[in-house]
Amino acid sequence: MVPFDSSQPDWTLPDLAGLIDHALLAPTLTAADYDRGCDLAAAYQVASVCVSPHKIADVARRLRGTGVKVGTVIGFPHGLHASAIKAAEARTALADGAVELDMVVNVSRIKTGDWDYVSRDIAAVTAAAREAGAKTKVIFETGHLTDPEKIKLCELCGVAGADWVKTSTGFGPGGATDHDLNLMRQHAPPGVQVKASGGIKTLDRLLEVRALGVTRAGMSGTAAVLGEACDRLGLPRRWSEPATDGAY
């Protein structure tokens, strides 16, 4: 853990909100759940809302004019879609209004050592995003991988032009550990940022990953975490309704 003095914050509420990709990815979410999640995101001005592909257009309409970006997932949650399908899914998502794509790598091909395939798979999505002026985050699902595999992926993501490397889907084993975040920050090229996801459920944990160099954090407990931040700063909470389960 990285020590910090929480009695003397070096952050503001907008600082923390700007780290958060609010996750709305649970398969049981209703239309009302998505609407509430968007309203929560807008109230706190988080970086983005990450939604399942079928809801992109609806969420884009809901968030229009709020300044909150719309993100989605590609090849989710296992990453085993054919590369052509991932690319098509990316193009559809972009056309529907997504501006950030969180794609899952093909762990089976990684375990096989088929790095050429893995490289092409990542490039298929990053190229589609780049053509549209969108951003790409590459999800490793670190709980399945060895350290050498994670390091190799960081290198490939740099070559492919990914904007972030990301720890987990939130649906696999493990989550965002200090070890993995340090490893990814050390081995990803300077122009590639690091996103933490999985297990970030408290304000202190968000501050810890921030101190490790994380610039985005995927979470569903946004209301609780930012509510705690408001309390610590002596500010009124912007959202009082219980948060919906977004899965992370």
Give a yes or no: residue 243 inside a domain.
no
Give a yes or no: residue 150 inside a domain.
yes
Does the annotation mark 86 as catalytic?
no
Distance separating alpha carbons of residues 97 and 95, to the nearest angstrom: 5
Does the annotation mark 150 as catalytic?
no
Give a yes or no: residue 65 inside a domain.
yes
The angle at the Cα of 14, spanning 10 to 19, to the nearest 5 degrees, equals 85
From the candidates 55, 137, 152, 195, which is the catalytic residue? Answer: 195
pLDDT at 4: 44
Give a yes or no: residue 245 inside a domain.
no
Q: Are 156 and 232 in contact (CB under 8 A)?
A: no
Q: 111 is in which domain, residue-wise?
A: 13-233
Residue segments in the chain with a per-residue pLDDT below the cut of 50: 1-6, 245
Give a yes or no: residue 41 inside a domain.
yes
> Which CATH number is 151's domain given?
3.20.20.70
Does the annotation mark 195 as catalytic?
yes
pLDDT at 174: 87
Q: Quick: pLDDT tens for 199-221.
A: 999 999 999 999 999 999 999 99
pLDDT at 209: 98
From the candidates 21, 102, 121, 163, which is the catalytic residue? Answer: 102
pLDDT at 7: 60
Number of domains in the chain: 1
Give a yes or no: residue 7 inside a domain.
no
Give a yes or no: residue 23 inside a domain.
yes
Give a yes or no: residue 247 inside a domain.
no
Q: Nearest to residue 246, comparing CAs of 49, 14, 13? A: 49
